[in-house]
Chains A and B, each alone.
Chain A
Amino acid sequence: MSDPVLTVDDLHVGYPGEEGDIEIVTGVSFELQRGEALGLAGESGCGKTTTALAIMKLLAPGLRQISGTVDLQTANGVVHLQKRTERGMRDVRWTEISLVFQGAIGALDPVQRVSRQIGDAIRLHDPEADRTAVRERVKELLERVGISGERASQYPHEFSGGMRQRVMIALALACEPEVIIADEPTTALDVMTQAQVLALLEELRRDLGLALLLITHDLAVIAETCERVAVMYAGSIVETGPTDAVFAVPQHPYTQRLLGAFPLVGGERALPPAIPGTPPDPADPPSGCRFHPRCHLAREACWHGEMALRPVGDDHDSACLFAPLQQTAVAGGVR
């Protein structure tokens, strides 16, 4: 049953500091199964985007992958991405794994027609492609994401926010990849448009058998689209499991508090409880469990040692010492 297309094992990413490397991704491991939607959740700055960019080897200058392996299952066997050179990555990016960028407006060139931008993605991987064939393919891609092919010759500013995001998705599909990483694909969209874009991603995943890694801080988005969820805190995954199970009985205090921080529709008119404290400084992380200074369950045992993910249920892992935990300790919830 297990058929992972993307396997990330013990990924460490950091930048050089005064006393050794400062790690902002500290040992992330997960598997993305073929055709599955996996949500990567967590607050801003916890290393979600960095993880995605490290997989694609698109880390910003200064950041580097310290250790860990990223394996991609392709038609031609397993590709070890961490061993690939920049040139070698070109053969894999877009044809095997592509990225829907955060914020579509910045990721589209304002002075190029949409048809040309999508066409470029095709031509860059197939320089001999026939002009008319490329034009047909662009139309087909746009229609696939629900945009009339007639609009291919328009410029990005002529599209609305939701349509631009659709264009970005069409762009990611251009070379028929197996895996799509969507980084905050619905941020800055209103709720209606958000729902449409998510429905589109869901539909594409089903029809094309794509594996989707959805990165977001919005748990509602994950609840809607993903079968499995991985919750990140301060550079590592603290809980992972089937979305239903994680949201019903979260097995890590951070997940509990995160879910508790959502107001309930039809619930009491009160501010949902915030998580006290601030995320730790990556240059000086707390010892032991990184969440312990903010945790309502913290005991002395939490201050020491490494917190590894342990199975706590069916396909459900938690990094909390006290897992399995009983019912949600904090009121509220997404559903």
Chain B
Amino acid sequence: MAVSSETVAQLLGSERGPLARWLVGAVRVVRAIGRRPLGAFGLITIAIVVALALLGPALAPQDPLASSSFDFANRMQSPSSAHWLGTDESGRDLFSQFLLGARVSLIVGLVAGIASAVIGAAVGICAGYFGGWADRGLTFLDDWFLVLPFVPFAVLMAALLQDDAESIPGGQTGIIVLVLAITGWAGTTRIVRAQVLSLRERQFVERARSQGASHVWIMRRHILPNVMPIVWANTVLIVALSVLGEAGLSYFGLGDPDSFSWGTVLYNGFQAGAINQGAWWYVLPPGIAITLFVLAFFAVGQVIDESSTPQARRL
């Protein structure tokens, strides 16, 4: 089952271009993560969610937005062979909504997570590399975002931006991505800055400067590649937090009412009184899915972190 890096190299021919080398490297990293039980759990869970996100709309028995889906005679039905996960307050199939939810949760989590990692790494590198006033200013900003209480701030911001939904790409979902990216970068900045403070004193940076390299060149060529491992480990964690944040904001009713993420399904269930009625099939599947998905990212993050700091192993 496992694809060896050699196989990939053969498939791509013996001439290893940059892409081939990158692929070989990526396969090697994935295999190394999968060798640990924790990492294997994470990778398999993420793979399942990715498969759901890709195939969900094709697999879903019905489109929850189509008028034919509404079946008020069969409201709040428990799971049956017709509806594997029962029905909602409008008699719509919950299994379809569960399948569709994977895509929104994954995309929002990934886009927001990667965006905050990019912002975080850029700010952290600038602060650490330039030092002085730039560092003081950026660190102040960073501290500010770090202590900002996430829930009230995110809810307030998402609510205030609602009116501008049309001018933001992605509409309501775009707002959630924006809010998550703006609130999520501060942690990465802190870690990256600390690392850069040590890197910029290293001799190879001085050597590059003596060769005539500009600041941008040094940051791109020498600082960024050296902080990439911690940026990756951190990105994985932020993606998980963003999935959670998306669910949270949707649960507060700030998501796009026309799209189905696991968070919006939870929100709908709460609105319909699923918990009072004992309709566990309404809230448990998306709840468990979010939990597993987030845990999977944390597991992968943990394994990456352990392999980049070997002394943290066996603790």
Contact = CB atoms under 8 A, between A and B. Distances in A.
B80 interface: no
A315 B225 CA distance: 51
Contacts of B207: 99, 101, 107, 171
Nearest to A117: B204
21 contacts: A58-B206, A58-B210, A93-B210, A93-B211, A94-B210, A94-B211, A94-B212, A99-B207, A102-B203, A106-B204, A107-B203, A108-B204, A109-B208, A109-B225, A110-B204, A111-B226, A112-B221, A120-B211, A121-B211, A124-B211, A124-B217
Interface string A82-124: 0000000010011000010111001111111000000011001
9 cross-chain pairs, A with B, having the tightest CB-CB distances, nearest first: A106-B203, A90-B212, A109-B204, A107-B203, A111-B225, A124-B212, A107-B207, A121-B211, A109-B222
B221 A93 contact: no
Contacts of A102: 203
B213 interface: yes
Interface of B is mostly: helix
Contact of A120 (B206, B221, B226): B221
A205 interface: no
Contacts of A111: 225-226, 228
**Chain B: interface residue count, which band?**
10 to 19
A56 interface: yes
Nearest to B214: A124
Contacts of B222: 109, 112
Interface string B217-233: 10001100110100000
B65 to A, nearest CB: 49
Most chain A Cβ neighbours within 10 Å, of B202, B211, B228: B211
A99 B210 CA distance: 9
A103 B203 contact: yes
A135 interface: no
Interface in A295-324: none
Interface of A: 56, 58, 90, 93-94, 99, 101-103, 106-112, 120-121, 124-125, 171
Nearest to B223: A109
B18 to A, nearest CB: 11
Contacts of A94: 210-212
A120 B225 CA distance: 15
Given A101-B203, A111-B226, A56 B210 contact: yes
Contacts of A56: 210
Nearest to B227: A111
Given A106-B202, A112-B222, A120 B208 contact: yes
Contacts of A93: 210-212
A109 B203 CA distance: 9
Contacts of B212: 90, 93-94, 124-125
Contacts of B211: 93-94, 120-121, 124-125
A94 B208 CA distance: 11
A70 to B, nearest CB: 15
Interface in B185-213: 202-204, 206-213
B210 A109 contact: no
A108 B221 CA distance: 12
A51 to B, nearest CB: 16
A145 to B, nearest CB: 17
A103 B206 CA distance: 13
A23 to B, nearest CB: 23
B195 to A, nearest CB: 13
B309 to A, nearest CB: 16
A106 B207 CA distance: 10
Contacts of B213: 120, 124
Given A109-B221, A111-B228, A125-B211, 11 more contacts: A58-B206, A58-B210, A94-B211, A94-B212, A101-B206, A109-B204, A109-B225, A110-B226, A111-B225, A112-B225, A124-B217
Contacts of A112: 221-222, 225
Nearest to A104: B203
A112 B204 CA distance: 11
A106 B217 CA distance: 19
A103 B203 CA distance: 9
Contacts of B208: 109, 120
Which of B203, B208, B210, B226 has the largest number of chain A CB atoms within 10 A?
A: B210
A144 B195 CA distance: 36
Contacts of A124: 211-213, 217
A269 to B, nearest CB: 40
Nearest to A156: B204
A306 to B, nearest CB: 34
Nearest to A95: B212
A109 B226 contact: yes
Contacts of B206: 58, 101, 107
Contacts of B210: 56, 58, 93-94, 99
A90 B210 CA distance: 7
A120 B228 CA distance: 20
Which has the most chain B C-beta neighbours within 10 Å: A56, A103, A120?
A: A120
Contacts of A90: 212
A99 B207 CA distance: 9
Contacts of A171: 207
Nearest to A175: B211
Nearest to B202: A106
A107 B204 contact: yes
Nearest to A108: B204
B211 to A, nearest CB: 5
Nearest to B207: A107
A40 B234 CA distance: 48
Contacts of A58: 206, 209-210
Contacts of B203: 101-103, 106-107
A171 B208 CA distance: 11
B184 to A, nearest CB: 26
Contacts of A106: 202-204
